[in-house]
Chain A
Amino acid sequence: MNTVTTHDALATYIVRHGDDNVVMGQRLAEYVSRAPELEEDLAVSNLALDHIGVADHLFTYAAKIESGDRSGDDLVMFRAEREYTNLLLVEQPQHGFGDVMARQFLFDAYQLPLWEALSGSIDDTIAGIAQRAAKESTYHLRHSSGWVIRLGDGTDESHDRLQKAIDGMWRFTAEMFEADDLDREMASQGIGVDPSTLSDSWEVKIGSVLEEATLTRPADPFQASGGRTGMHTEHLGPMLAEMQWLQRANPGLSW
């Protein structure tokens, strides 16, 4: 494989993880000021900051590898829906606090083992970002697990709402563990990780928390997929429009 292709592949690989985090961060940011209590509002904004911070590091690195004209910010602000390669789970909108915590929990339980695995990457920058993010993910997962248990094992109302939230997000979970050629190539080079190797750890965590939360593991066999190739649910486009309009209307705008 020639050098150019290797660089392209590496940048593409980094961008997909950046996309997961910037979309997750934007969704959480939408919820700021809407949490049920002040402490949770702080928590949601802190979670958003962590995800956007990781995304910033990843996009800055991807732009450096591309060594073209695009900056890390350009990657976020000037790519269209079909160019975004995030997982479908993170783009799902929230209609309440239960949705926020269900999505967070399902994603945290995937991201923690992902960052732990990427901490051993032979790429120093990826390893460093992953080591930092793994510590934050540990906190995120503890927080979201705590809420899933409190709401699931709470009142009838909170139990029902959380069960509905988990049921609604469930169809987007298998996609997290689908490996494509790029994943396998990056894994074989010791740079990345094959996501299918993360599912055992995820299943254990999900199983134990749902049980403690008195929630039922959804049995729905239907699973959606396509985020990594830019085939998104109807929710990503409007979210990007909101996120990108200022930069698109005023290119080059800065603080």
Chain B
Amino acid sequence: MVIAETSRVEHVRDLLDRVVDPDIPFLTISDIAILRDVEITDSGAVTVTITPTYSGCPAMATITSDIHTVLAEGGFGDVTVDTVYTPAWTTEWMSNDAKQKLAQNRIAPPDSVLAVVPEVLCPLCSSGEINTISEFGSTACKSLMVCTDCGEPFDYLKAI
């Protein structure tokens, strides 16, 4: 059966929607914009292009391995995962949908990187009265905040 290239790419993208960020498992690599491109040749060789979030993000190795696994399960044996650095990953690439998912899971989503003073809202009570506990949180991409109104400590996905 011959499938048009666009639909084959769509098929690969659907499979890749099973690959999540292991540190934020409700976001797929497409949600968080680590996934930059998918190409497929006539012979069925797949090239997946990803961009690392942080230089030292330990999740990248897991993500690369997961990409190989889901595509192998989907019948794609010839897979290359290319890591590109330019342009550098930014939280600006995250969709509003992804930011809503973050908030629903009690992680404050990133404000615009252009904001001089980033607006951070408590993911529990939506108060803007926030103190920073630590610039560096549970993972490289988050800092640790506390709401001074309701007392909720929470992670903030840093805007970069």
Contacts and interface: CB of A to CB of B under 8 A. Distances in A.
A51 interface: yes
Chain A CB within 10 Å, residue with most, of B55, B58, B134, B158: B55
B85 A53 contact: no
Contact of B84 (A49, A128, A135): A128
B88 A135 contact: yes
Given A54-B55, A57-B55, A129 B136 contact: no
A135 B54 CA distance: 9
B85 A54 contact: no
A204 B141 CA distance: 29
Nearest to A142: B135
Interface stretch (A39-47, A151-159, A162-170): A39-47
A39 B133 contact: yes
Interface string B30-47: 000000000000000000
Decide if the interface of chain B is mainly helix, strand, loop or mixed: loop
A143 B135 contact: yes
B136 A42 contact: yes
Contacts of A46: 56, 136, 140
Contact of A57 (B85, B136, B140): B85
Contacts of B81: none
B140 A132 contact: no
A128 B134 contact: no
A143 B158 CA distance: 14
A212 interface: no
B85 A129 contact: yes
Given A39-B133, A39-B136, A143-B136, A49 B85 contact: no
A46 B134 CA distance: 11
A30 interface: no
A127 B88 CA distance: 9
B89 interface: yes
B85 A43 contact: no
Nearest to B84: A128
Given A128-B84, A128-B85, A136 B55 contact: yes
Contacts of A51: 56
B88 A50 contact: no
B29 to A, nearest CB: 17
B84 to A, nearest CB: 7
Contacts of A142: 135
B134 A53 contact: no
Contact of B55 (A39, A43, A127, A129): A129
B144 interface: yes
B7 interface: no
Nearest to A46: B136
Interface of B: 52, 54-58, 84-90, 133-138, 140, 144, 158, 160
